[in-house]
């Protein structure tokens, strides 16, 4: 047996094993398990206590300012995978800003989270979508339905400790340009 033939056999076996093994993430897309753990911590926290300065200690990926003025950022984001100015895998965090009459910041609180996650396989995107939705606090029975429709909306009540809030979640799953993409639009508001 020649070395070249042996090399072809080894490469073929390696590629076949990889295809049958665990799903591979797209370059730049974070591990859904890591994201889920961080989202669960954020979801279980009182959002009135989460600011742009405290968020980096809760989110494992690097966060950059996106929409800032007068000493505070209304939006920060993690730019994991951005191709052609389109966010394929990234997370945006929006803050509500309360300011005094002079424009000085009095209080900021986390108001919403937008997550875009892409994968080449529908099964992989649905698995990631369900992990992320569950971590945000969606019930198990509702989580099981994620992906049955291209666009779904959910809501539930959250007792954040200081006040009851309504959690709103919109999930969109779509296929575009040879990949699957799930987008989450999550917010919490006073009930």
Render pLDDT for 80-98 as a digit per residue (tens, 0 to 9): 787 777 888 999 999 988 7
Render pLDDT for 54-65 as a digit per residue (tens, 0 to 9): 999 999 999 988
C-alpha closest to that of 182 among 139, 134, 124: 124
**Dist CA 44 CA 163 (whole Å):** 13
Tokens of 117: 């996650």
**Dist CA 147 CA 154 (whole Å):** 13
pLDDT level of residue 104 (50, 70, 90 thresholds): low
Range 57-64, long-range pairs (CB < 8 A, 24+ positions): 59/91, 59/93, 60/30, 60/34, 60/35, 61/30, 61/91, 63/93
Contact 123, 105 (CB under 8 A): no
- pTM for the full model? 0.81
3-class DSSP state of 28: coil
What integer pLDDT is reported at residue 23 of this predicted model?
Answer: 53
The average pLDDT across 135-140 equals 96
Q: In sequence order, what are the beta bridge partners of 101?
A: none
């Amino acid at each position: 047996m020649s070395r070249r033939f042996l090399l072809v056999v080894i490469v073929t076996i390696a590629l076949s094993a990889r295809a049958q093994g665990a799903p591979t993430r797209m370059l730049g897309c974070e591990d859904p398990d890591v994201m889920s753990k961080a989202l669960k911590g954020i979801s279980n926290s009182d959002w009135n206590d989460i600011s742009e300065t405290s968020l980096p200690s809760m989110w494992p990926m690097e966060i950059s300012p996106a929409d800032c003025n007068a000493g505070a950022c209304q939006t920060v984001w993690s730019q994991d995978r951005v191709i052609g100015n389109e966010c394929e895998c990234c997370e945006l965090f929006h803050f509500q800003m309360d300011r005094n009459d002079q424009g000085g910041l009095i209080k900021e609180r986390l108001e919403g989270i937008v997550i875009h996650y892409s994968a080449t396989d529908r099964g992989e995107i649905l698995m990631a979508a369900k992990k992320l939705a569950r971590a945000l606090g969606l019930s198990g029975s509702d989580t099981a339905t994620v992906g049955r429709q291209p666009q779904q909306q959910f809501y539930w009540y959250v007792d954040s400790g200081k006040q009851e809030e309504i959690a709103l979640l919109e999930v969109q799953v779509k296929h575009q340009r040879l990949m699957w993409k799930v987008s989450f639009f999550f917010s919490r508001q006073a009930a």
